[in-house]
Amino acid sequence: MGFHFFVTPTMSGRHLLLEPFVSRPNTNSIIHMKNHYRPVLSGLAAACLLSAAPATAEIIQVSNTDIQGTVQWTRSNTYVLNGFVFVENGEELHIQAGTVIKGKDGEGANISALVVARGGKIFAEGTPSQPIIFTAEADDVNDPEDLGLLDRGLWGGVVLLGRARINTAVDASGNAASPKFDVYEGIPGTNPNYLNFFYGGDNDDDSSGIMRYVSIRHGGKVLESNKEINGLSICAVGRGTTLEFIETYAIKDDGFEFFGGSVNTKYLVSAFNDDDAFDTDQGHTGKHQFWFAIQASDIRDKGMELNGEPSGLAVSNAPLARFTVYNATLIGAGAGSGGNGNNVFTIREYASPRIYNSIFTDFAQRGVSIDAKTKSLLDSGSLDLRDNLWWGFTAGNTAANLDLGNAALLFSDADRRNEISNPLLRGISRQANLGLDPRPASGSPALSTQSTPPQDGFFSPAPYKGAFGDWNWAADWSALGAYAVLTGRGAQKPTMTITQPNPPVIVLQTSPGGLGVAIVSVVGLTYQLQSTLSITQPNWVNEGAPVAGTGAQILINAAISNDPSKFYRVLMQ
């Protein structure tokens, strides 16, 4: 019979699995086990990824009729979107890590875009070394120089439509309905897929699936005047959806736009998009952390345009657009780069954002504009910007320059700790010279903060300001990295250095009740024996009480059952 034994040191939540195997001993023997150790380690590669597609990928043309039921797209193929392609109610699209999806160029009804309709789901789960890339048909992802860094508008984008709440609809019928719904902007009632463009409902826990390590490049198309497809449109998407490590790059409109909904996000990159880096509307209520944006000096608008409700319709409907962002770094178009409108924030129409521990720097214009409807939310504390760093503005780094209207309180109230101070980022560049490094340098005031994110199961501990600490989490998988704009330094996620005690000597010995386990212990550690009936789906159960180390051999449990179906391990803490 086999007898498996595991020894697992656990320190600060990190586990190192040690997997020795020993034959079950003769009942009259004492066996000293020599452990053969296989550390289970994880980390992110430090190299920039230039391509996710195999050189011999088959080209698969995709039209609207090609997704039915559950469909799998694999990295052995390249998929080309022909017009709007829908993942409809009850359908699922699964995209393998490393897959490339391209959109044909076109205008009006011939715009190519992927639309996940209400009730549809997308599972696009890339990895740092194998991101999923959405890009233009003209883009050879194996050649980082075939397109210009700022080539935009070559296809549409990705649209997620969910069943979470919105507070006000532009569509009159949708605004009168209960629950409210709206129609994705610019889609006429004559469109044969009109119903697939609806969004909104009453389920804030709704799920549209998972998107992780996804780069959306060179998109953005005008549907009609002032109505465009963004890089990623997030419409009434519920908090059951996972959105993290997503980049929108060189989009001919906003990078990310939230239309209501309650979805939470982490690790978003909005780079060189020609309108706003981040945009909200219609009562968005999500939680967000680690947002990074850099704007180009040619075409751009605000860092964030935050509307509570559609302009001209705002009447302070519920739900109030009260959402939270921790740890953003927004780099504008460059101080002194000219042009109009490149301010950090426009906040209006009863928006009530709460933005903390963030860095706003290198903007061509000024700071914050708050409209008259929204000023009361700032005065009451519902709208709150706190513990942020502001620096690098064309007209000067002063409170008077940062206040474009109704925002003076943000800088006059010392308790808000909005500091006008150089964040000392390691490098700002908009060229393919590996010069962009948005991590704070040694001595930066961003390396400490008085605000800490809530311990609510979503926010990560981050005792610093801005989207980056030491870990350059955008380097491996993004277009910024692939096009050699962003440095690869710091790409590997830092791991906690733990000094492990010497591997213990385990002794299996007989005892009156069966087989006993003794161990040569270390002072200051405790030892807990556990067992499970399955190693593939373990349910570890304590065997007896934990035993404190003495520096000598101790008995962990005097009577392990002679049950050959059990697996055992010792936890050292």
The reply to whether 375 and 242 lie within a common domain is no
Residue 4 has pLDDT above 60, yes or no: no
Question: Contact at 8 Å (CB) between 79 and 102?
Answer: yes
Residue 562: pLDDT band with limits 50, 70, 90? low
Residue 524: the pLDDT is 66
Return the pLDDT at 237. Answer: 98
Asked if residue 439 and residue 557 are part of one domain, the reply reads no
Specify whether 368 is located in the same domain as 392.
yes
Q: Does residue 563 have a pLDDT over 90?
A: no
- Indicate the residue among 223, 243, 263 that finishes a domain: 263
Q: Is residue 7 part of a domain?
A: yes
Residues 259 and 188 in one domain: yes
pLDDT-derived band at 527 (thresholds 50, 70, 90) equals confident
Whether residue 277 is contained in a domain is answered as no
> Is position 289 within any domain?
no
Spatial neighbors of 173 by CB under 8 A, at least 6 apart, are none
Q: What is the mean pLDDT of residues 519-536?
A: 76
Asked whether 223 and 191 are in contact (CB, 8 A), the reply is no
**Residue of 532 and 143 predicted with greater confidence:** 143
Token pair of 127, please?
Answer: 């990895």
> What digits encode the pLDDT tens for the residues 173-194?
999 999 999 999 889 899 999 9
At residue 422, the pLDDT reads 98
Terminal-to-terminal C-alpha distance of the chain? 30
> What CA–CA distance (Å, rounded) separates 159 from 168?
19
| CA distance linking residue 479 with residue 194, whole number of Å | 33
Shared domain check, 512 and 483: no
Lowest mean pLDDT among 69-83, 193-207, 253-267, 520-534: 520-534
Whether the pLDDT of residue 276 is over 50: the answer is yes
Band (484; pLDDT cuts 50, 70, 90): very high
- pLDDT in the model for residue 49: 37
Q: Look at residue 14 and tell me if it is in a domain.
A: yes
Q: Quote the pLDDT of residue 8.
A: 45
Tell me the pLDDT band of 69, cut-offs 50, 70 and 90: very high
pLDDT surpasses 70 at 495: no
Model confidence at 281, pLDDT cuts 50, 70, 90, reads: very high
Domain assignment of residue 562, given as a range? 2-42+504-572
The pair of structure tokens assigned to 478 is 């993004």
Pairing mode, strands 198-199 and 553-560: unpaired
pLDDT tens-digit profile of 423-466? 999 999 999 999 999 999 999 999 999 999 999 999 999 999 99
Q: Are residues 120 and 215 in the same domain?
A: yes
Identify whether 389 is part of a domain. Answer: yes
Question: The pTM is what?
Answer: 0.79
- Do residues 32 and 89 both lie within one domain? no
Domain membership flag for residue 399: yes
Q: Residue 88 pLDDT more than 70?
A: yes
The DSSP-derived string for 83-131 is SEEEE-TT-EEEE-TT-EEEE----GGG--EEEE-TT-EEEEE--SSS-
How far is 134 from 127, CA to CA, in rounded Å? Answer: 14
Tell me which H or E stretch contains 481.
helix 479-482
Residue 302, number of CB atoms within 10 A of its CB: 25
Instruction: Indicate the residue among 239, 263, 287 that finishes a domain.
Output: 263
Nearest CA among 566, 311, 396 for reference residue 557: 566
Contacts 24+ apart (CB under 8 A), 514-517: 514/559, 514/560, 514/561, 514/562, 515/24, 515/25, 515/27, 515/559, 515/560, 515/561, 515/562, 516/555, 516/557, 516/558, 516/559, 516/560, 517/555, 517/556, 517/557, 517/560, 517/568, 517/570
pLDDT at 26: 32
Dump pLDDT digits (tens) for 31-44.
Answer: 232 232 223 323 33
Report cis status (omega within 30 of 0) of the bond before 9: no
Residue 12: exposed, middle, or buried by beta-carbon count in 10 A (0-12, 13-18, 19+)? exposed
Supply the Cα-derived Rg of the chain in whole angstroms: 27
Mean pLDDT of 349-371: 98
What local confidence, expressed as pLDDT, does residue 29 receive? 28
What is residue 379's three-state secondary structure?
Answer: helix
More confident residue, 79 or 108: 79
If one counts the domains in the chain, the total is 3
Please give the Cα distance from 80 to 112 (Å, whole number).
9
* Domain end residue (candidates: 447, 463, 490): 490
Mean pLDDT of 528-538: 76
Same domain, 332 and 474: yes
Are both 481 and 509 inside the same structural domain?
no
Same domain? 412 vs 463: yes
Residue 9 scores a pLDDT above 50:
no
Residues 188, 68 share a domain = yes
Report whether the peptide linkage leading into residue 319 is cis, meaning its omega lies within 30 degrees of zero.
Answer: yes
Residues 225, 369: one domain?
A: no
Residue 51: inside a domain, yes or no? no
Residue that has been written with the tokens 């924030």 in this structure: 345
**Candidate from 163-172, 226-235, 272-281, 382-391 with smallest mean pLDDT:** 226-235
Q: In terms of Cα–Cα distance, which of 95, 88, 53, 90 is closest to 71?
A: 95
What pLDDT score does 46 carry? Answer: 32
Within a domain: 311:
no
Find all residues with CB under 8 Å of 537, minimum gap 6, and list them: none
